[in-house]
Chain A
Amino acid sequence: MSNSTPIVTDNAWRRLSACTDARIGLGRAGISLPTREMLAFQLAHAQARDAVHLHLDTDRLMAELAALESPVLKHGPVYLESQATDRMTYLQRPDLGRRLSQRSCDRLDELGHTGDAPVDLALVVADGLSSYGVQKNTLPFLDALMNELGADANHWELAPIVVVSQGRVAIGDDIGHRLNARCVVVLIGERPGLSSPDSLGLYLTWGPRPGLTDASRNCISNIRPAGLKASAASQRLVYLLRESRRQQVSGVPLKDRSEDLVIEQGIENFLLR
């Protein structure tokens, strides 16, 4: 082969990748993925796998939560576990990830009890499918949220923040119920994508009790530095919290009106020029 014939064929339209995170214009070796692009993909997949399988550092998270200072926070954090004893069980048995272990039920009843009067809000942090997402975004988000709640016209009485390992979204229903909370918000690590291994999701449920379905929840997704910022997410959540409290509902009947718009973005369809 002569030196002038490149082994890898570049794509003339590669510059378009500035317009999207999609892996376009990768070029080709023959008709296959060039080595550099192939390994970049393997790295992204490895990071996403690690996000699923590496344990949430609960000691560190508990210490960070204990150090969180806000006038709305009156109790220290509580650590709990679901009935899924390990990651492999967690991945195959979503039902177990939705239920607290007996020990955790006892502990919650003992420690987290807030008296006879209901509290306005219980916050639950669950590892879900991305320990990265929880580790990275929980504190920045809660900082923003505490500021918003502190400044809100409503008074917000909060239950102790709960951290739960091997937890799914619905475990918040049981926890909120046991804490006698009017409303529960679950912060959970979202299923990692290749370009977003570190994403946190929020699920709001009014009147939490065991047996509710996703139809009674509102979700805010993709909270991460390169996605929805912690401050913007906390503003949207407080909007939903106020509306939920006012209408005493959540889920399908509680519409986030900010989402009804058609998204108008991008330069235009350059293919039509």
Chain B
Amino acid sequence: MYRFSLGDRRWQFRTLADLMAKATPARSGDRLAGIMAHTAEERVVAQMALAELPLKTFLNDALIPYEQDEVTRLILDDHDGAAFEPISHLTVGDFRNWLLSDLATPEMLARIRAGVTPEMAAAVCKIMRNQDLILVAAKCRVTTAFRSTIGLPGRMSTRLQPNHPTDDITGIAASILDGLLYGSGDAVLGINPATDNVAQSVRLLHLMDEVIRKYGIPTQSCVLTHVTNTLEAIEQKAPVDLVFQSIGGTEATNESFGFNLATLAEARDAALSLKRGTVGNNVMYFETGQGSALSADAHHGVDQQTCEARAYAVARKFDPLLVNTVVGFIGPEYLFDGKEITRAGLEDHFCGKLLGLPMGCDICYTNHAEADQNDMDNLLTLLGVAGCNFIMGIPGSDDIMLNYQTTSFHDALYLRRVLDKRPAPEFEQWLTKMQIFRDTEGKEPADGLPEAFRASLAHLPGERPDGELPDE
């Protein structure tokens, strides 16, 4: 039982999970789960009670029992006491002050990472305003590499997402070309397959591998299929760069996704054995999103933001190249509108970075959510300021396979210009070398069709050999 007095009124919270849920800024998923604060006042009282809690509490009071959940076991067994030492005396409220203070330099934040549990990150997140989440995340530096280096200061990368509703090869190639010529794809070329089986995945892996090799693109490819499909693809000698999996923050969520921690370890070993990286060996690509545990009926009464932070413990174990919170995809029953999506995007990015993950964000919405392009522009800009490692890039924001809207190739160029961000260094050099961009910083696309792509386009019906548009 957790108690708090305010004036002559006494408040009680049944469990730590109850206190955490009540302290969470309002969102539809926690309302759907029936665990949200009943009043605005109760929420702030819960935040005040949470602020007084020593960080050590989270090492002794597990939100989901150790015996029942392998993610809890992972979190507690891997906790690094030495890294925790500099912050071990703090309460959650003090931790917020410390994070915002000049004591928390980028170096210091890197030092304490392994001592911070997801629950500590989630707790302090609940008492931070949006600008706090941005400021602290901007101090957390996380760099990863495979054929490009992602997350360096002043850089912002993109996943080129050339999805097509029937996996049509020409359609996918057209979107890849469009993206490359807009300077997108330095984080990964990543396809969500329309037909999710091993044969189709292998076919798409070859497609991307051939393009990467022909044009010498310093990037990596990924087919976002189930981890067990990718394992089979590796056995079939397919050119696998990254292993993908959607992950959640409880064992039961991951079980509903059809894997456990051992599966991920096996897949990572298999991908590492291929030795396909040139500048680094981060071989995992994870996607997450608030609401997945509730959706799988596997949340144990824990609020969706805390479940999400626990998913980062799973990600952290496997040294990923990319972790992508797909923030607005799940729908309005979990994040209702632009305001809730914005808050969740900033929370996820902050918690992930604090825990040491290469966080990116699929800044997105569905057509049944109360959100639009203006909300996405806002979150994109905020995450750019917060130092988000990568975002999605898709033609004209419209994913014609998954039927949702995410950030476009144009959006990434907007962010690079207003915030003076550059692509990954290896990719930036390639863009200039290939005459795709006029400048050396990935900000000014060339006007015409670059020489290297003219031959490919010359043979298409209706295309003139010089690549110019025929007269209309």
Contacts and interface: CB of A to CB of B under 8 A. Distances in A.
B467 A12 contact: yes
Given A23-B396, A262-B199, A268 B367 contact: no
Given A91-B333, A92-B333, A266-B168, A271 B396 contact: no
B170 A263 contact: no
Contacts of A154: none
Q: Which among B170, B176, B336, B444 has the highest number of chain A CB atoms within 10 Å?
A: B170
Contacts of A52: 367-368
Interface in A1-56: 9-26, 28, 31-33, 37, 41-42, 44-45, 48-49, 51-52
Given A31-B413, A31-B445, A262-B195, A16 B395 contact: no
B53 interface: no
B396 A32 contact: no
A262 B174 contact: no
B329 to A, nearest CB: 11
A119 B199 CA distance: 41
Interface stretch (B307-315, B318-326, B454-462): B454-462
Contact of A13 (B177, B194, B336): B177
Nearest to B162: A22
Interface in B159-195: 162, 164-178, 181, 194-195
A91 B178 contact: no
Interface string B361-382: 0000011100011000000000
Place the interface of chain B in its size category. Answer: 35 or more
Contacts of B164: 20, 22
Contacts, number: 198
Interface stretch (B77-85, B206-214, B347-355): B206-214
Contact of A20 (B175, B414, B467, B468): B175
B266 to A, nearest CB: 24
Interface in A254-273: 259-260, 262-263, 265-273
Nearest to B459: A273
B368 A191 contact: yes
Contacts of B449: 12-13
Nearest to B463: A15
Given A14-B469, A15-B460, A193-B404, A44 B398 contact: yes
A33 B410 contact: yes
A75 B181 CA distance: 59
B373 A262 contact: no
A34 B399 CA distance: 19
B447 to A, nearest CB: 6
Given A10-B469, A19-B171, A270-B170, A24 B31 contact: no
A192 interface: yes
B463 A271 contact: no
Contacts of A17: 174
Nearest to A190: B403
A197 B403 CA distance: 10
Nearest to B170: A266
Contacts of A21: 165, 171, 400
The 4 closest A-B pairs by CB, nearest first: A23-B396, A193-B403, A20-B171, A266-B170
29 contacts: A11-B181, A12-B467, A13-B177, A15-B463, A17-B174, A19-B168, A19-B174, A22-B174, A23-B395, A28-B445, A31-B417, A32-B414, A33-B408, A41-B373, A45-B405, A91-B332, A92-B332, A191-B331, A191-B403, A193-B403, A262-B200, A265-B170, A266-B169, A267-B170, A270-B173, A270-B459, A271-B177, A271-B211, A272-B211
